């Protein structure tokens, strides 16, 4: 049990690092010339796909351990909001505050963003894409997908525990993706989430090994047709690491602990350092220094955000139980 939880935490850290590396090497097209360094982060965005697989596994697993039932949905929603919202709210404030500070600088270039009430409210409620607003932070769209999956899991968990119902729901979600074809809905990423769900069923011994293999092969094939080869590879790698990877590395587990905070603020913090690098770094070694600096400072600020928001809310969320001990 400990091995699996450790692997999930480490995988979170790796996925967050991949996304950071993508934004620092490919986020600003004026920073790096084409070459090995830029290419090294070309597929870092696949860390997002890994996060979806992780959620597909860990959310139903935590519900199963907590003996969750649909009647406890409001408690589940409360636990999730307490866990994720304070850090998210703080990251929105940080993004807007840094934008304001940047606008006071003599070399500031207008980003053509007006932080009106509608934009801020749509971001805080995760409805931006569905309402036609832009995301304040480009990574926020993934949080909206995650929130939808949480609701999906909370409502349908009683059925998802059954392999037959889970398969039917999987097929219905895939169908919904093609029928509605609406950007911003989680249906498009159904195969990634279900890689995690089917793995949860096997891990908790709700299905046998042969059933697990068949379901996983079917899901991987579906993933290939619904999304792409890189996303399929990322999904397979993520679920493999959950089962086989084990590390007691303090560094990797530290990155796993702060992964959510790092994911939230690496763009406004590290991205601004990269933007400075566009102005002041000409040689390759100078650009490497700016990338390292962007990553280091992002991690430092992420740790601060983690200590101030995530750590206390994580403890509070964990203290809320679905059932009182008898």
Instruction: Measure the CA–CA gap between 150 and 145, rounded to whole angstroms.
Output: 9
Span 189-212, average pLDDT: 96
| Structural Rg of the chain based on CA atoms | 20
Residue 112, pLDDT > 60, answer no
Q: Give the domain ranges of the chain.
A: 2-319
Per-residue pLDDT at 246: 76
List of residues 6+ apart from 187 with CB closer than 8 A = 173, 174, 176, 177, 180
Place of tokens 């999987």: 170
Residue 98, pLDDT > 70, answer yes
Per-residue pLDDT at 314: 93
Residue 3, pLDDT > 50, answer no
8 A C-beta contact, residue 227 and residue 85: no
Residues, the chain, total? 326
8 A C-beta contact, residue 147 and residue 126: yes
Instruction: Measure the CA–CA gap between 65 and 251, rounded to whole angstroms.
Output: 28
Per-residue pLDDT at 113: 63
Per-residue pLDDT at 1: 42
- Each residue of 151-175: pLDDT tens digit? 999 999 999 999 999 999 999 999 9
Place of tokens 């790092």: 262
Structure tokens at 322: 């679905």
Residue 104, pLDDT > 50, answer yes
Instruction: Measure the CA–CA gap between 321 and 253, rounded to whole angstroms.
Output: 25
pTM of the model: 0.93
For the chain, the average pLDDT equals 92
- Each residue of 6-23: pLDDT tens digit? 789 999 999 999 999 999
Per-residue pLDDT at 227: 95
Structure tokens at 109: 């270039």
Helices 73-103 & 117-124, crossing angle to 10 degrees?
140
Per-residue pLDDT at 326: 54
- Each residue of 229-255: pLDDT tens digit? 999 999 999 999 998 887 778 888 999
Q: Which among 142, 149, 139 is positioned nearest to 57, based on CA atoms?
A: 149
- Would you say the C-alpha torsion 312, 126, 115, 300 has a positive or negative sign? positive
Residue 123, pLDDT > 80, answer yes
Phi, psi of 98 (to 5 degrees): -65, -35
Span 98-108, average pLDDT: 73
- Each residue of 61-97: pLDDT tens digit? 999 999 999 999 999 999 999 999 999 999 999 998 8
Give, as one character, the DSSP assignment of residue 134.
P
Helices 284-305 & 73-103, crossing angle to 10 degrees?
130
Helix %, strand %, coil % of the chain (to 5): 80, 0, 20
């Amino acid at each position: 049990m400990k091995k699996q939880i450790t692997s999930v935490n480490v995988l979170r850290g790796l996925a967050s690092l991949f996304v950071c590396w993508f934004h620092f090497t490919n986020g600003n097209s004026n920073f790096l010339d084409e070459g090995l360094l830029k290419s090294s982060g070309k597929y870092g965005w696949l860390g997002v796909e890994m996060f979806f697989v992780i959620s597909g596994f860990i959310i139903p697993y935590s519900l199963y351990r907590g003996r969750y039932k649909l009647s406890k949905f409001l408690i589940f929603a409360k636990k999730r909001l307490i866990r994720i919202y304070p850090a998210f709210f703080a990251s929105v404030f940080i993004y807007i505050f840094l934008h304001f500070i940047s606008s006071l600088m003599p070399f500031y270039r207008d980003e053509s963003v007006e932080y009106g009430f509608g934009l801020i409210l749509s971001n805080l409620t995760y409805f931006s894409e569905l309402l036609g607003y832009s995301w304040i932070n480009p990574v926020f769209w993934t949080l909206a997908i995650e929130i939808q999956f949480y609701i999906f899991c909370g409502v349908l968990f009683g059925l998802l525990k059954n392999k037959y119902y889970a398969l039917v729901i999987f097929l219905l979600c895939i169908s919904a993706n093609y029928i509605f074809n609406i950007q911003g809905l989680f249906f498009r990423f159904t195969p990634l989430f279900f890689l995690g769900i089917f793995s949860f069923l096997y891990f908790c011994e709700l299905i046998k090994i042969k059933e697990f293999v068949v379901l996983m092969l079917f899901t991987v094939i579906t993933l290939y047709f619904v999304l792409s080869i890189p996303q399929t590879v990322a999904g397979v790698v993520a679920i493999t690491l959950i089962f086989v990877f084990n590390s007691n590395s303090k560094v990797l587990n530290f990155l796993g602990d702060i992964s959510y905070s790092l994911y939230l603020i690496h763009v406004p913090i590290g991205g601004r350092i990269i933007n400075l690098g566009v102005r002041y770094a000409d040689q390759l070694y100078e650009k490497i220094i700016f990338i390292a600096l962007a990553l280091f400072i992002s991690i430092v600020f992420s740790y601060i955000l983690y200590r101030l928001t995530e750590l206390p809310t994580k403890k509070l969320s964990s203290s809320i139980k679905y059932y009182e001990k008898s």
